[in-house]
Amino acid sequence: MVNNDIRQNFFSQLKEPFTGVLLFDQLSDIVFFIKNARGQYIIVNQTLLKRLGFKSKAQVIGHRADELYPEPLGAEYRKQDEEIISGDKPILNQLELQLNNAGQKEWCLTTKVPLHGPNGEVVGLAGISRDLQIPDKKNKDFPLIAEALAHIKVNFAKSIKIQQLAEIASLSVYQFEKRMQTIFNLTAGQFIQKTRIDASLWKLTNTEESIVNIALGCGYADQSSFSRQFKQSVGISPAQYRRLAK
């Protein structure tokens, strides 16, 4: 109760609600936004504005994702927002490949959380997408996992167990995962996922190979599991991505 009183007293002194946008405007590798219950942007930072290709925040405020991103991406981004708002469930550090209006691709970790009104109802959501950073190969821990990373690169089409990777690195699973987080800001599972999706993106763009063969060649048991993982990561189906990429 004391902590709540301190917070309420502090926020009551503010001239206007604190959104954090002035802070996030300074971060070029983080997309930040707040949306209302209809999925309309209420707050956006400069990074999101730049990646959408607009010059003024007024061009974005009041619009939904499906009105700003090309189809079918926009519709899928809007659907994700609606699921968070209707289900009142966040997504936390979800690995995603963001495609912007300039055709650029950025791997990021996305977190979206529902925002609640005074009676507990969901009134919107807030979210960030943090770009994955280029790993520092000079990090003292990098040599410890280098052989395991090479194993993933060569064998991503096969079943890979985290225990197996840890053994290659002569580390416990906990130690291996900790070093993956330190160097890549990813879990080992997310790194494998990214490796497989990157391989599938290349094949979808540069070959006429069937989607089922791409799925099997990138480490998935079948086309269904591949399509499900691909859509979660990229926002659209493999077939839709192939049409956009061609």
Q: Given this model, what pLDDT does residue 1 score?
A: 54
The answer on 111 and 154 residing in a single domain is: no
As a whole number, the mean pLDDT across the chain is 94
Last residue of a domain, one of 71, 106, 131: 131
- Let me know if residue 12 belongs to a domain: no
Per-residue 3-state assignment (H helix, E strand, C coil) for 92-125: EEEEEEEECCCCCEEEEEEEEEEEECCCCCEEEE
Tens of pLDDT, residue by residue over 132-150, are 988 888 889 999 999 999 9
CB 115 within 8 A of CB 34: yes
Q: Given this model, what pLDDT does residue 103 score?
A: 64
- Let me know if residue 120 belongs to a domain: yes
What are the contacts of 6-13 at 24+ separation with CB within 8 A? none
The pLDDT of residue 101 is above 90 = no
What is the number of domains present in the chain? 2
> Which residue segment(s) compose the domain that 45 sits in?
18-131
CATH of the domain at 225: 1.10.10.60
Higher pLDDT, 137 or 192: 192
CA 146/CA 74 separation, integer angstroms = 38
Last residue of a domain, one of 78, 100, 131: 131
Higher pLDDT, 245 or 67: 67
CATH of the domain at 48: 3.30.450.20
- Report DSSP state, residue 20: -
Q: Given this model, what pLDDT does residue 70 score?
A: 86
Last residue of a domain, one of 96, 131, 166: 131
pTM for this one?
0.88
- Let me know if residue 196 belongs to a domain: yes
The answer on 223 and 157 residing in a single domain is: yes
- Let me know if residue 3 belongs to a domain: no
Q: Given this model, what pLDDT does residue 7 score?
A: 85
Mean pLDDT in residue range 118-123: 95
Mean pLDDT in residue range 223-230: 97
